Amino acid sequence: MEFSKKLQQLPTQFFAALVQKVNLALEEGRDVINLGQGNPDQPTPIHIIQALQEAAENPQNHKYSPFRGLAELRQAAADFYQREYQVELNPDTEVAILGGTKIGLVELPLAVLNPGDTMLLPDPGYPDYLSGVVLGDVNFEVMPLFAENDFLPDYHALPDEVKEKAKLLYLNYPNNPTGGTASLAFFEETVRFAKEHNIIVSHDFAYGAIGFDGNKPVSFLQAKGAKEVGVEMYTLSKTYNMAGWRIGFAVGNAEIIAAINLIQDHLFCSQFPAIQQAAAVALTASQQCADELRATYERRRNVLIEEARRIGWHVTAPSGSFFAWLPVPLGYTSEQFADLLLEKADIAVAAGNGFGQYGEGYVRVGLLVSEERLREAIHRIEQLQLFKR
């Protein structure tokens, strides 16, 4: 048997290769500090776990879920957006339940584009955006993200022919991998750009709860006219440490939400009802756990940046997400530097070129280990004498 041509065309899973390298080092008994992962290291808050336990004991939840998900979760998502962002949503027409937002991001091109259409992707960006490109049989053009522009795309710099043929645009703020954030003014510019060129916008708001220095990340839907052109995808994975639960939602434009729901009618039968009920509790109960988690990541960020600067590593502090985007020393490519850290210091980081051609020259570091382990990681790097104070 041979894999289908479609499967053969899929991009190599970047993170799978990284995990394999780390696992080989661990099998050798090495004390690896894994800063390359994007997997939250804290447990799900206990009140959410208890809600799942209670819901799982209800025999009604052992049946098929409604195809479009539970009404109470759609309502909880609408209530969450009203409370957190002052955005009004119709839970019946402007909310789609997702088995994690990766599903929504990969299936959206299949739902709203035709083969040969073009979408715009940030570079560097989340590698799995490319899975939707291949499965949807569509083309893509990149929007380079540069430090000098705060890792925001410059729409004016895009060639006219690219603007005219593009039909779908992906954004992600707070950003993976750069840690950059977007302002309301930028999202308003995005709405104008989308309307002028008739482009659908999808904002990946995975790190929406993680903003630093007292700045709360902005929702794309807070921009005037945003619901006229696009949707936003919100996952519970990061806000509530629910990565393994696989639950999230898309909100916004009713026609796009209808397209997402229709394709999901043919692919899935929604999520286990007990998980949906627990997710509704997460969204509507006290948000103290989310506030405490954000504070934890900010403390870790501060330790990482202070220690890096102490050894002469000239780095910029991320303004959001749980990642730092750090420049590699002169004389190294991203991959060479990442391999050196694993080989000589037992530190795993994600090479920037795995996130696109404009990721070259950086490595992504996750704030997903303790402050002590972050200090230890920088101490090990200091021993390599790669930087001058």
Map tokens 């959001």 to a residue. Answer: 320
Do 84 and 70 fall within a single domain? Answer: yes
> What is the per-residue pLDDT for 160?
97
> What is the per-residue pLDDT for 382?
97
The answer as to whether 31 is a domain residue is yes
The answer as to whether 230 is a domain residue is yes
* Residue (of 287, 325, 304) closest to 209 by Cα position: 287
State how many domains the chain has. 2
The answer as to whether 108 is a domain residue is yes
> What is the per-residue pLDDT for 82?
98
The SS3 call for residue 140 is: strand
In which domain, by residue range, is 324 found? 5-44+288-383
Report if pTM > 0.95. yes
Do 124 and 85 fall within a single domain? Answer: yes
The answer as to whether 93 is a domain residue is yes
**Distance in angstroms (rounded) separating the CA atoms of residues 109 and 136:** 6
Rg of the chain in Å (alpha carbons): 21
Do 113 and 139 fall within a single domain? Answer: yes
Q: How, if at all, do strands 200-204 and 230-235 pair?
A: parallel
Which of residues 253, 284, 315 is at a domain's end?
A: 284
CA angle 86, 251, 238 (to 5 degrees): 85
The answer as to whether 26 is a domain residue is yes
Map tokens 């756990």 to a residue. Answer: 289
Q: What CATH number is associated with residue 251?
A: 3.40.640.10
Q: Which residues lie below 8 Å from residue 372, measured CB to CB, with a gap of 6+? A: none
The answer as to whether 379 is a domain residue is yes
From residue 237, how far is each of 132, 244, 271 by CA, in Å? 20, 7, 15
Do 258 and 213 fall within a single domain? Answer: yes
Beta bridge partners of 98: 248
> What is the per-residue pLDDT for 12?
82
**Distance in angstroms (rounded) separating the CA atoms of residues 118 and 94:** 25
Do 276 and 298 fall within a single domain? Answer: no
Give yes or no for a contact between 320 and 210, defined as CB atoms under 8 angstroms apart. Answer: yes
From residue 278, how far is each of 4, 90, 236, 269, 294 by CA, in Å? 38, 21, 11, 18, 21
Give yes or no for a contact between 229 and 201, defined as CB atoms under 8 angstroms apart. Answer: yes
pLDDT in tens, 29-72: 999 999 998 999 999 999 999 999 999 999 999 999 999 999 99
Do 244 and 197 fall within a single domain? Answer: yes
> What is the per-residue pLDDT for 280?
98
Do 270 and 309 fall within a single domain? Answer: no
* Residue (of 212, 184, 186, 235) closest to 40 by Cα position: 235
Do 88 and 228 fall within a single domain? Answer: yes
Do 184 and 92 fall within a single domain? Answer: yes
Which of residues 264, 284, 304 is at a domain's end?
A: 284
> What is the per-residue pLDDT for 17?
81
Which of residues 227, 250, 284 is at a domain's end?
A: 284
Counting residues of the chain whose pLDDT is more than 70, the rounded percentage is 100
The answer as to whether 53 is a domain residue is no
Do 162 and 266 fall within a single domain? Answer: yes
Do 165 and 306 fall within a single domain? Answer: no
Tell me which residues of the chain have a pLDDT lower than 70. none
Type of residue found at 259: A
Q: What CATH number is associated with residue 339?
A: 3.90.1150.10
Do 192 and 121 fall within a single domain? Answer: yes
The answer as to whether 52 is a domain residue is no
